[in-house]
C-alpha cells in the first residue's frame, strides 16, 4: 500500500512538472522531466547492486555471561557500493533455545554508501539459557520507495547465559560427605569411610610408593597402605531439567549451580547426570574443577528443558542400579531430611 502511494506521488510530481513545462515553455523543466523519468531506473539498479554486495555480521560476547548482566549484541551491515538506501529492514529473531521461546521483530535503518552501518542491542537476560540472535533476511527498498528486494541472510550470534546460585558451601559439603559415606557403605558393607587408607600385606604388583616402610621394618613382611581410589569417593549428582514453568526450571539451574560450585570450591569430585532432550538419552560428565563445571553448564544450556514427568531420576536408577546414594536436584517430595531447599518447590535431596 505504501509503495502504491509513493508511485502515485511520483506520478503527480511528473505530471506537475509537465504542466509547468507546457505552460511556461521552460527548458529547465524539460531537463527536470528527463531526470524524473531516468531516476527510477537509477534507483532500481542501485537496490539490485546493493543486494548483490551487501554483507551482514552479527557480534555477541564470546565469553559466557550471567543472568541479569547486561551485554551488547551488534548488527553490522556493510555496503561496499556507492548506492545509499534510506530504508533497509532487517527481520530479526531473538530467543532462548533452552526454554524454546522466540520472538520476532523488524529493525529499520538507513544504509550508507561505501561504508558500514552498525546497530547495537543492549541485552539483559532475565533467565539463564542459550541466547540466540538471528537475522533471517533483509528487505532493501529503493530511494523512491516504489521497489523492494529481499536479501536472504541466515546469520546468527549466540551466547550462553549462566545461572547465579547462592553460596551453599556448608550445606553442600555435609550432603557430599554423607552421600559418599552411604554410597561406600552400600558397596562395601562394614567399611569405615572415616579411614582414608588401610594396612594390608604386600601383594605382587603393588606400587612401591604404597609400601609402609616404617611399619614393614617392625615386621618380617612388607606392609602396604591400601588407598581408596578417587573414583570411588565421588558423588553422583542427578539434575532434573523439568520445568512446567520457566521459574521452576530456573530454580533447578540455580540450585544445581550452587551445589556444584560448592563441591568444586571444596575440591570434592563428582559425576553429574541429566537427561538430554536433543540426544534422547542420559548424559554424564565427571567434574573435578571449575573449568569442567562450566563446560558442563554450557553443554546443559545448549540442550532443552522438558515439561511433564521427571525422567532423569528414573533413568539413572535403571542405568546405575548399584550406584548407592546419589544427590537428586529436582521437584521436592522426597521423604528425607538430607536436602537443601530451593525455590519453586525445588530441592537437592540425598536419595
For residue 191, pLDDT over 50 is answered with no
Query: Could you give the residue ranges of the DSSP H alpha helices within the chain?
Result: 2-24, 27-53, 169-187, 213-218, 246-265, 290-301, 312-319
User: How many C-beta atoms surround the C-beta of residue 210 within 10 A?
Assistant: 13
Determine contact, residues 244/262, Cβ cutoff 8 Å. Answer: no
Question: Which triple of cell numbers denotes residue 339?
Answer: 536436602
Could you tell me if 156 and 181 lie in one domain?
A: no
Q: What's the pLDDT score for residue 324?
A: 82
The arithmetic mean of pLDDT across residues 251-255, rounded, is 96
The reported pLDDT for the residue numbered 229 is 47
Assigned C-alpha cell, 112: 550508507
> Of the candidates 344, 347, 321, which has an alpha carbon nearest to the alpha carbon of residue 334?
347
- Cell numbers linked to 342: 530451593
**Backbone dihedral angles phi then psi of residue 129, each to the nearest 5 degrees:** 145, -160
Per-position b or e across 3-41, b if 16+ CB within 10 A of its CB: eeebeeebeeeeeebeeebeeeeeeebeebbeebeeebe
**Mean pLDDT throughout 243-261?**
93
Residue 227 pairs in a beta bridge with 197
278 in the same domain as 222: no
Taking each continuous run of H as one helix and of E as one strand, the counts in the chain are 7, 16
22 located within any domain: no
Mean local confidence (pLDDT), 243-267:
93
Residues 128 and 204 reside in one and the same domain: no
Can you tell me the mean pLDDT for 190-211?
55
Contact 36, 13 (CB under 8 A): yes
The full DSSP string for 60-93 is --SS-EETT-EEEEEEEEEE-SS--EEEEEEEEE
Calculate helix-pair angle for 290-301, 246-265, nearest 10 degrees: 160
Q: Which of 344, 333, 335, 317 is nearest to 252 (CA)?
A: 344
In tens, the pLDDT along 202-245 reads 666 666 556 665 666 666 676 665 554 444 567 999 999 987 78
Nearest-angstrom CA–CA distance, 287 and 234:
10
What pLDDT, in 10s, does the model give residues 168-186?
999 999 999 888 887 666 5
**Does residue 27 form part of some domain?**
no
Domain finish residue from 228, 251, 279: 228
Residues 183 and 282 in one domain: yes
Most confident of 237-246, 260-269, 332-341: 260-269
- Which of 110, 144, 162 is the last residue in one of the domains? 162
244 and 173, same structural domain?
yes
175 and 310 fall within a common domain: yes
Q: What is the mean pLDDT of residues 309-329?
A: 89
HSE-up (13 A, CA, CB side) for residue 87: 13
How confident is the model over 47-62, as a mean pLDDT? Answer: 96
Q: Which phi and psi (to 5°) does residue 119 adopt? A: -120, 130
Supply angle C-alpha 232, 237, 241, rounded to 5: 160
* Of 274 and 180, the one with more pLDDT: 274
CB count in 10 Å sphere of residue 162: 20
- Strands 115-124 vs 85-96: parallel, antiparallel or unpaired: unpaired
Selected residue with higher pLDDT from 213 and 199 = 199
> Considering its fold, how many domains does the chain have in total?
3
Query: Is the same domain home to 92 and 216?
Result: no
Same domain, 180 and 288: yes
pLDDT band (50, 70, 90) for residue 323: confident
- Cβ atoms of 65 and 161 within 8 Å: the answer is yes
Q: Across residues 68-91, what is the average pLDDT?
A: 96
**Span 161-166, average pLDDT:** 94
Q: Is 266 in the same domain as 316?
A: yes
Give the percent of the chain with pLDDT over 90. 71
270 found inside a domain: yes
Rounded mean pLDDT of 287-299? 95
Q: Are 276 and 174 found together in one domain?
A: yes
Give the rounded percent of residues in the chain with a pLDDT score beyond 70: 85
Are both 61 and 106 inside the same structural domain? Answer: yes
Tell me the average pLDDT across 139-166: 94
Overall pTM > 0.85 = no
pLDDT higher at 36 or 189: 36
Cα(187)–Cα(229) distance, integer angstroms: 13
For 306, the domain range is: 169-190+234-350
- The CATH number assigned to the domain holding 101 equals 2.60.40.10
Note whether residue 21 is domain-resident. Answer: no
Ranges 111-115, 120-124, 139-143, 205-209: which has the least confidence: 205-209
> Are 140 and 256 within one domain?
no
Amino acid at each position: 500500500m505504501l509503495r502504491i502511494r509513493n508511485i502515485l506521488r511520483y506520478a503527480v510530481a511528473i505530471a506537475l512538472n509537465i504542466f509547468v513545462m507546457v505552460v511556461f515553455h521552460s527548458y529547465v523543466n524539460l531537463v527536470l522531466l528527463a531526470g524524473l523519468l531516468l531516476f527510477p531506473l537509477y534507483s532500481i539498479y542501485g537496490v539490485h547492486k546493493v543486494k548483490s554486495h551487501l554483507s551482514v555480521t552479527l557480534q555477541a560476547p564470546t565469553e559466557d555471561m550471567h543472568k541479569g548482566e547486561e551485554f551488547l549484541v551488534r548488527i553490522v551491515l556493510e555496503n561496499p557500493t556507492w548506492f545509499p538506501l534510506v530504508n533497509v529492514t532487517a527481520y530479526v529473531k531473538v530467543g532462548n533455545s533452552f526454554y524454546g521461546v522466540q520472538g520476532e521483530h523488524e529493525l529499520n535503518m538507513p544504509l550508507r554508501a561505501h561504508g558500514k552501518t552498525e546497530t547495537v542491542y543492549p541485552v539483559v537476560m532475565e533467565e539463564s539459557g542459550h541466547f540466540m540472535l538471528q537475522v533471517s533476511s533483509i528487505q532493501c527498498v529503493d530511494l523512491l520507495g516504489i521497489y523492494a528486494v529481499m536479501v536472504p541472510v541466515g546469520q546468527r550470534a549466540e551466547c550462553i547465559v549462566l545461572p547465579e546460585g547462592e553460596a551453599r558451601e556448608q550445606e553442600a559439603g555435609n550432603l557430599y560427605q554423607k552421600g559418599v559415606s552411604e554410597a561406600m557403605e552400600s558397596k562395601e558393607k562394614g567399611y569405615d569411610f572415616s579411614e582414608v587408607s588401610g594396612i594390608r600385606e604386600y601383594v605382587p604388583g603393588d606400587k612401591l610408593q604404597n609400601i609402609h616402610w616404617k611399619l614393614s621394618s617392625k615386621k618380617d613382611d612388607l606392609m602396604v597402605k591400601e588407598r581408596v581410589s578417587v573414583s570411588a569417593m565421588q558423588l553422583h549428582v542427578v539434575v532434573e531439567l523439568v520445568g512446567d514453568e520457566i521459574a521452576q526450571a530456573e530454580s533447578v539451574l540455580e540450585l544445581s549451580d550452587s551445589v556444584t560450585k560448592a563441591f568444586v570450591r571444596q575440591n570434592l569430585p563428582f559425576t553429574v547426570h541429566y537427561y538430554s532432550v536433543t540426544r534422547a538419552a542420559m548424559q554424564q560428565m565427571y567434574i573435578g574443577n571449575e573449568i569442567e563445571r562450566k563446560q558442563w553448564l554450557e553443554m546443559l544450556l545448549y540442550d532443552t528443558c522438558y515439561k511433564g514427568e521427571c525422567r532423569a531420576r528414573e533413568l539413572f536408577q535403571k542405568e546405575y542400579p548399584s550406584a548407592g546414594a546419589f544427590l537428586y536436584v529436582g521437584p521436592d517430595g522426597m521423604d528425607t531430611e538430607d536436602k537443601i531447599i530451593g525455590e519453586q518447590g525445588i530441592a537437592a535431596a540425598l536419595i
